[in-house]
Structure 1
Amino acid sequence: MTPDADQPAIAGPRPFYHHLYVQVLAAIVAGALVGHFYPAAGEALKPLGDAFIKLVKMVIAPVIFLTLVSGIAGMRELRTVGRVAAKALGYFLLFSTLALVVGLIVANTVQPGAGMNIDPATLDPGAVADYAHQAHETTLVGFALAMIPDTLVSALIQGNILQVLVVAILVGISISLVGEPAQPVLDLIDRTGKIVFRLTGILMRAAPVGAFGAIAFTVGKYGAGSLVNLGGLVATFYLTSLLFVLVVLGAVARLHGFSIIRLILYLKAELLLVLGTSSSEAALPNLIVKLEAAGCDRGVVGLVVPTGYSFNLDGTNIYMTLAALFIAQACNVDLTLGQELLLLGVAMLSSKGAAGVTGAGFITLAATLSIVPSVPVAGMALILGVDRFMSECRSLTNFIGNAVAGIVVARWEGKLDRARLDATLHHRGPAARFADTAPLTTMQGE
């Protein structure tokens, strides 16, 4: 559904202000300034960010469905689909657990909540009541049943990523089993995919506007001053996530023949978009396209990346254990090693149960604390004011983690064009022509 690497290059260099990442970065700076100096105006700009995210979510389900159906039908062998899924889930389990452990170790080492001496009785449980209620409603059984859509087309209508995955996998397998008679349907899917990616490219032109509105609202409503009191927690979380990306994911990338820094530079436009909107979903269609353009197999990327958006949340997992121990330290609750391990185990399960839920990081934390009574759920009120500032970091880390996962699983499957990946990340060859531009529009030959 995306053009081949030998597509003719765009004539002449583009002016720097035509690059998507430059436009989004400028919008983020402008939005922060508006939110800081004109808070009321910043809050009023919230609909701009919400509208852009809704526009992107509008095409996420079709992008995933069309990419995955085309990829699975192209694999021909159903054993390949099962093998890719098993490897992806194994990877997700390993690194999600590792992220939880990292958060636990850093919290015990840095102890960002020590010395605050908060009396849990003075906290307002009503401030987090809605999150706690949503957490109680989110169970593993309910999560499993929710993966099954009411009808074959309702998943595409409702936009539930996991339901779209289920339907796309089943349709892709069915087309593969039917074989030659289903070829016209597969051709139609490929042609429809070209239209949807062109539409996505058009929508991405509004990315700077969405980033401007979202960041103006965040700064205007919560204010940079809210970072002062809890700056230690925020700084610890950002540094921990940075180390996880550069050291842990960096080591994984190096073992698989590519540089995490160069991957980040290749995806800088998408990362800035995630930063501006606090939503990794806003960049999901671009991530699928750019990984495929960098040499990853369409079917592997189409299966791994959307699944990772629900099961491979490295940033959210770091946040969960770090925030839980911060609350315990702030409230002078001494946890034993056994209680901390229980906390980690519960977090592993609850992070899967809350997958796909809006505000999953905070809701999952509420679910975890409600099961581990040693840490007061009301303590979440302490971090409610800065959670919005930490959501950007969660989304960025989740996004990078899924980009790495897509490349790694593709290599495990022997479905990675190593030469093309190297050329793209080093800005050599046709595949890298659109690395600094709005990728979807450029890839469609504009």
Structure 2
Amino acid sequence: MTTTPADDVIGHDTTANAEHPTFPFGRTCPFAPHDKYASFNDDDLQKVDFKGTPGWLITGYNNIRSVLADPRMSVRGIEDSSRGDAGDDAVPGFFVAMDPPQHDDLRRILAKEFTPRRMAAMRPNIERIANELVDEMLKSVGPVDFVDALALPLPSLVICELLGVPYDKHDFFQERTRAVLAADSTPEQIAGAIGDVMTYLAELVTIKQQTPGDDLVSLLVKHIESGDLSIIDVAGMSTFLLMAGHETTGNMLGLGLFALLEHPDQLAELREDPELMPQAVEELLRHLDIIGSLPRTATEDMEVAGQRIAKGELLMFSTEAGNRDPSVFDEPDRLDFQRDASRHLTFGHGIHTCLGAPLARLELQVVFSIVLERIPTLRLAVPADDIRLKNDARIFGVHELPITWDRA
């Protein structure tokens, strides 16, 4: 990796042979972006390489918001096999990898069923699942891996229940989701993993056409009957929701609890005032930002912050840097539960803003509230430096989080 040449800044031309930092940068600290960002000016664009393709890195909060909302931004033509395609035609139903009007048509249908009100109605079920998992944790006579015991199974159980997918298939789904997100997976392995899940869900869709239930897949089946969707569309949408709906939240639960235990002052505030939890979750989302970057391509020649961007050029949006922009968040490197962090960029911005954000927020609030209430003496079972970080994965987190507590 090389340092950025001095002429790779706004207002200066760069050559095709110039060497640029490889992006994403990764993390060496669990609770902070790479220190390379410290040398950047948030008002400038920086030249980087993404999987061998040169592109422009945008780090400033206001620039990220304005450009992500620009209709000249496209999610096509991007070398990102985790979406199941090679930048050509998107996988059916994977609206996250589609531009309008296809994106808008699918998202509009899903949004009718995947509503914040429906998510909020799931709170009793999420609380039940969380309490059952904590019950099992409390039976242990020694340290427990929070990731394995609660962080991963809870969102898996919740998304399976929401979609109407049998939970006894959760190992099948988790194995294939990990294959999709593993940094060393080949495009063929990723496509195979997505194909396996879509094949299973297509079979489930045909079953629910005959025997519908009170679940999201059954609701989407109605749109097959109206002609708005095909079986493969519903299978693809369900596959995307299933994969996105448990791995991201699971990683955030593990890393979030790690952050709480390593910031005792903020943890104490939360214990003293449980009503602070929704605001605390927003701050954890801002502070940790486990995805951190979003790629786009320009569909037209345009200008961003004084820099000419040619049609077809790649732009990388560092939401983790935008979430630390000091012009927007005072003392941005400090975890502060008194802060209003609701403007964070962790769920993206524009037409591709995360549709599952209300569910993720709810799961985080419920789990942290129940765990802190039921296990008041909770603490790490190993030194913090021994916690293994997921620096090798597309979604940041911790591999394990050994915890313990005082037992009677």
Structure with bigger helix share is 1
Structure number having the greater strand percentage:
2
Determine which structure has greater relative contact order: mean sequence separation of CA pairs < 8 Å that are 6+ residues apart, divided by chain length: 1
The verdict on a shared fold, with TM-score over 0.5 as the criterion, is: no
